[in-house]
Chains A and B, each alone.
Chain A
């Protein structure tokens, strides 16, 4: 099972209180994890990545195993610890602006 930690507003939208666990068939990548996330919670479509281009929204970042994976290819394999469910995959709302 893949563990995904969502930011506050997306947890509210998805109506989940803690981290989400997802079944993701190999290969486990940003793309396949986000595909599974959006399939489970359709309300999140478009909130993490653009629905047309599939590109990460500019104020959203991805972290795992204390590494910033935001600029990695969406098809790059995620770390083994994420695949094994030892470490979560973090979706973070970037600290941008203060309004």
Chain B
């Protein structure tokens, strides 16, 4: 029987939550790597037993863990992330040059073709690739060198490359998003890159429609529409239909267009989910009501989804990598909160229930749909 495995990264370890296709009874395993920050875990689309995890602390640095048995056992693998060539500088918060310095891996994106190929997005922002199952890493240095890395500035969370999307149409096409630089696209496997931020407007940067400097929080794409992407920006929910050449606002009737997560229904490319947050100063839901908003029209018209979610006194946040969808016939939607809850909807968002209540603050949620 088909089932799902939810991979949850938290401030204090990793957890796996497994269920059959009904998604009602859950087996909770963990914590793995207790006491360590797990920024992200993700499984290979071609070998679901192969899972990669980013494990770090400010004390002891970065490790990458790899599982070959669906998260039952793990082994530490390569953790050397060395910037290629002359490292150079980016800008710090004050606009002064700051040497690039590796801090941590924010996101791991296994290839859809080969379980040994995986991309890593790191802080300070750069893209790395492994072709040997994460035993070793090489920088995809064209991103920093062909674009304008020297002028990038960090967002409040650091200068992080947090989103990686390999196009389902062409493995040579890669989108990445960086806070606070913006979206970049390569059409040649990472050799060269272009800024793809036209149409974005950000108050508080010197030129509000600049080619870069935008604090993009998350981008998402449906495999059947490789040129259509949705974006949750620091403020604004945006959409492009030409692979990032131009973006337009689809925030419509949202109560707040600030937020972190955004995702697309597994089978309906015009059905999009966001979770509005009050503001950049108040990282909790408006009115203390935890509401996912769904658009079935590709944006602009949004409906609140509240059944099963707390509608009073809820002041958690949902971080950028903490929403995912499964690919079962009735699409499941998942998100995790900084309060340690992981919620599931097994009816595409109509109703929700918590899988777990009391984990450490959730940093990331991914889901594997298992045959």
Contacts and interface: CB of A to CB of B under 8 A. Distances in A.
Interface of A: 7-10, 13, 43, 45-48, 50-52, 57, 59-60, 93-94, 96-97, 99
Given A9-B35, A9-B36, A60 B80 contact: no
12 contacts: A7-B59, A8-B35, A9-B36, A9-B60, A13-B60, A43-B76, A46-B80, A47-B61, A51-B80, A57-B59, A96-B59, A97-B58
A59 B57 CA distance: 10
Interface in B61-94: 61-63, 76, 79-80, 82
A15 to B, nearest CB: 11
B233 interface: no
Contacts of A13: 60, 63, 76
B32 to A, nearest CB: 11
B11 interface: yes
A51 B58 CA distance: 15
A60 B62 contact: no
Contacts, number: 39
Nearest to A44: B60
Most buried by A among B36, B57, B61: B61
Contacts of A10: 60
A9 B80 contact: no
A30 to B, nearest CB: 17
Interface in B139-198: none
A99 B80 contact: no
Contacts of B35: 8-9
Given A13-B76, A50-B61, A52-B82, 17 more contacts: A7-B59, A9-B35, A9-B36, A9-B59, A10-B60, A13-B60, A13-B63, A46-B80, A47-B60, A57-B59, A57-B60, A57-B61, A59-B58, A60-B59, A93-B59, A96-B58, A97-B58
A60 B60 contact: yes
Contacts of B59: 7, 9, 57, 59-60, 93-94, 96
A47 B57 CA distance: 9
Contacts of B60: 9-10, 13, 47-48, 57, 60, 93
A8 B82 CA distance: 27
A45 B11 CA distance: 23
Contacts of A47: 60-61, 63
A93 B60 CA distance: 8
A77 to B, nearest CB: 26
Contact of A99 (B11, B61, B62, B63): B11
Contacts of B62: 46
B31 to A, nearest CB: 12
B361 to A, nearest CB: 9
B308 to A, nearest CB: 30
Nearest to B76: A43
Q: Which of B58, B60, B76 has the most CB of A within 10 A?
A: B60
A96 B57 CA distance: 12
Most buried by B among A10, A46, A94: A46
A52 to B, nearest CB: 7
A9 to B, nearest CB: 6
Nearest to A53: B101
Nearest to B87: A52
Contacts of B82: 52
A43 to B, nearest CB: 5
Contacts of B63: 13, 43, 47
A99 B80 CA distance: 26
A44 to B, nearest CB: 9
A8 B58 CA distance: 15
A14 B274 CA distance: 42
A7 B82 CA distance: 26
Contacts of A94: 59
A47 B11 CA distance: 18
A13 B80 CA distance: 16
Contacts of A50: 61
B280 to A, nearest CB: 21
A48 B59 CA distance: 8
Nearest to A48: B60
A47 B36 CA distance: 13
B85 to A, nearest CB: 14
A12 B141 CA distance: 34
A64 to B, nearest CB: 20
